[in-house]
Amino acid sequence: MNREKNNCCGNENSDANLEQDSGYAAVSANETPSFDTPVDLHIHHVRKRSADLDGLSIKAALDGIIASGILPDDSPEWIKSIKVTSSKGSSEKTIFKFTEAKE
């Protein structure tokens, strides 16, 4: 399942807001997915300029996943692995891919 979020911070005036728009491209408000089993999480950042992976924080992304009810917790009990990748593109976005964890 892919989920795109186009605003990392929810505050357009924040210097930390690296993405342009606010909204959900892949999932409408009435279709928020949730999981009741542990997941492997892939977070892919698309940026206009190249960015070092260590400069792309996933803390806000994990907090948003919990706050939106997608997962009940960001502990190792629920998130078995996290993969972070990035690429250049004309439109900045962050893509979340959840897969059922292989235990």
pLDDT at position 32 is 73
Say whether 62 sits in a helix, a strand or coil: helix
Per residue of the chain (103 residues), what is the pLDDT tens digit?
Answer: 444 444 344 434 434 444 444 455 555 555 678 899 999 999 998 989 887 777 777 888 888 889 988 999 999 999 999 999 989 998 888 888 999 998 6
Give the single-character DSSP code of 56.
S
User: Rounded to 5 degrees, what angle do the CA atoms 74, 76, 80 make?
Assistant: 100
pLDDT at position 10 is 40
Q: Model pTM?
A: 0.66
CB distance 86 to 56 below 8 Å: yes
CB distance 94 to 46 below 8 Å: yes
pLDDT at position 5 is 40
pLDDT at position 7 is 39
pLDDT at position 30 is 57
Q: Give the number of C-alpha atoms closer than 13 A to the C-alpha of residue 92, restricted to the C-beta side.
A: 14
Distance CA 43, CA 41 (A): 6
State in words which class domain 2-100 has.
Answer: alpha beta
pLDDT at position 25 is 52
